Structure 1
Amino acid sequence: MHHFGLSVPDLDATIAWYTATLDFELEAAYDVAVLPARAAFLRHGAVRVELFEVSGAVPAPENAQDLRVHGLRHVALAVDDIVATRDLLRTRGVEFVSEPATVPGSGGDRYAFFRDNNGILIELFEMYRA
């Protein structure tokens, strides 16, 4: 996968949050005249996110992240130590939606969920290592 894209209400605030909270770096910022929109690519290692602030965009419906509604529900970031990452993010003001839990039938993979500054659901994922 090259990147995932998010529509956000405030590009500058979201860039600031992802860089300060999740250690992403700004790769490029640009305008998309056809929308019109302001956009940016952020990068953390091999993971990229493209952010769009589109003029006239409306908030997602309440059920946008309900698994009973088709479409993208969340993005997941791989981590080596889910508890240490959770603890670090808490020092940066992140409130978790769920505590680390084991993925059923995985043999030990773990996950936890939180929301970004726009309410977008993000998963931390730690693969089990025997």
Structure 2
Amino acid sequence: MSELFPDLKHHHVGFSVADIETFVAFWTGVMGFAVEDRKYIAPIDTHLAFLRKGDARLEVFQKAGSAPIPEHRRSPNTDLAEQGTKHPCFSVTDAQRALDILSVRDDCAIVGVIRRPGDPMRLEDDPVLGENDPRPPAAAFFFRDPCGLIVEIVAARNFPD
């Protein structure tokens, strides 16, 4: 292990979106982040916000005239065909509960469910578990937020720190 940067730690992950207000509303109102800072950078006509929840920070930009997310980047499996940054991942105690909450919302879309660690991701027509459902609770899942960004949620017990 290198000790060249003993004080190195993760600070934030950044996103570019078409509508910063939509991003901020979802990530504060649904996911529980708080706005830490907001700015407008006039020389590059860009709005910026930092959101924070515990040690997790999100930086989001709205740049005038920016290109939309290409279609092949809107699904985790097809996104892997292009090199580069993929998606943020957050852990929760109960991934199935998070899946149940997000799957009924109109402003995001479930794009894949992993029922057991190591199993392939699958798209399910109805990821909510019924009373006698034979499927195990979700170990992880992917969703698109209202801005089209792919996000992964994992059950902390299956993916420990």
2: CA distance, partners of 1:3 / 1:113: 20
1: CA distance, partners of 2:104 / 2:82: 33
In the alignment, which of 99, 105, 119 is matched to residue 86 of structure 1? 99
The alpha carbon displacement at 1:91 in A equals 5.1
Whichever of the two has the greater Rg, that structure is 2
CA contact (8 A) 2:144 2:151 kept: yes
Equivalent residue, structure 2, for 1:118: 147
Query: Quick one: percent identity of the two aligned structures?
Result: 31
Equivalent residue, structure 1, for 2:66: 57
- The TM-score with structure 1 as length reference comes to 0.85
The alpha carbon displacement at 1:92 in A equals 4.5
Equivalent residue, structure 2, for 1:36: 45
> Which consecutive residues of structure 2, in runs of 5 or more, have no partner in the other structure?
1-9, 120-137
> Which consecutive residues of structure 1, in runs of 5 or more, have no partner in the other structure?
none
Q: Which residue identity does 2:153 align to in structure 1?
A: L
Higher share of residues assigned strand: 1
CA contact (8 A) 1:21 1:92 kept: no
Equivalent residue, structure 2, for 1:27: 36
Q: Which residue identity does 1:77 align to in structure 2?
A: F
- The TM-score with structure 2 as length reference comes to 0.70
CA contact (8 A) 1:2 1:47 kept: yes
Runs of 4+ in 1 over 6 A off after TM superposition: none
**Could you give the per-residue CA deviations for residues 61-107 of structure 1, whole angstroms, max 9, x where no partner exists?**
222351011011211011111112222334544431123422218xx
For 2:15, what is the secondary structure of its paired residue?
strand
Equivalent residue, structure 2, for 1:128: 157
For 2:100, what is the secondary structure of its paired residue?
helix
For 2:11, what is the secondary structure of its paired residue?
coil
CA contact (8 A) 1:40 1:51 kept: yes
